[in-house]
Amino acid sequence: MNYGKIIVTGSSSGIGKEIVKKFLDDGYDIEGIDLSDNGAFSHQNYKHHQLDVTKFHQLEYLINNIEYSNENNVLVNCAGTREICPIDELTLSLWEKIFSVNVTASFLSGKSFCQNIIKRKLNGCVINIASVSGLLGEPNRTAYVSSKHAVIGLTKQLALEYGRYNVRVNAIAPGVIRTPLTESYYHDEFQLEKIYKGQFLPSLGMPEDVAQAASFLASKGASFITGSTLIVDGGWTIGKDL
């Protein structure tokens, strides 16, 4: 049984890749968008688009011309990037790059997706992958932290603007998740100790944890949830171990 269509940006690695796997298991057709030319999947229900999401006109064109489903449609904005440097070394060009990927691309794809759902009188929802860095400050990540705060604000605003058309928009704020981007943490005793001390569950966060959350937010079980940020962080944001 086909449950609908899902569009995933950042589909070839990390959280995005796991979301694709989960929604394939759930019975969706997938349109994956990634800078990489490696679709990472050989599956009849997966179609890969090699695209830089900061090529905004190309991104909008793709969102506008995808074949949508008469069942359910989901957009997951997962493409993201970050910087690790002191604020004194953060250049305007790097700041703009972080915001282009993390915020502007999500705005344009989200707006285009919602407008297509409304125009075609279809069912659909948007899931933005934010971060606990969108709720807290963090050293040496000024642009990233600011951009993820913006993603949460964008989520609320899209939910407010399009809710009247029964289009839901939510965000997920993962904590430290083991992906290729963070793999080095797990081979550094000091970093690993910081992770365990920073959260209140003994298990480590995995991409599957975020994919399960995305599957729930796309389901009928979440039909009255919009404008929310679902935190998936093992307790990272609930307090400090004083």
Q: Which CATH number belongs to the domain containing residue 200 in this structure? A: 3.40.50.720
Q: Which residues pair with 231 in a beta bridge?
A: 173
Active site residues: 144
C-alpha triplet 184, 99, 234: angle, nearest 5°: 45
Residue 158: what pLDDT? 98
Encoded tokens for 148: 């993820």
In terms of C-beta density within 10 A (0-12 exposed, 13-18 middle, 19 or more buried), how is residue 3 classed?
Answer: middle
Specify if 189 maps to a domain.
Answer: yes
Specify if 217 maps to a domain.
Answer: yes
Mean pLDDT by runs of 10 across the 242 residues of the chain is 90 96 96 85 90 98 97 97 96 98 98 98 98 97 98 98 98 96 92 94 97 97 98 96 78
Domain housing 163 = 5-232
Cβ-contact 46, 40 below 8 angstroms: no
Residue 3: what pLDDT? 86
Q: At what angle do helices 14-25 and 207-217 cross, to 10 degrees?
A: 50
User: What's the Cα-to-Cα distance from 231 to each of 72, 92, 238, rounded to whole Å?
Assistant: 24, 30, 10
Give the number of domains in the chain. 1
Residue 109: what pLDDT? 98
Specify if 227 maps to a domain.
Answer: yes
Specify if 54 maps to a domain.
Answer: yes
Specify if 241 maps to a domain.
Answer: no
Helix (H, G, I), strand (E, B) or coil at 63: helix
CA nearest 196: which of 235, 158, 224, 152?
A: 235
Specify if 109 maps to a domain.
Answer: yes
For the chain, the residue count is: 242
Residue 240: what pLDDT? 85
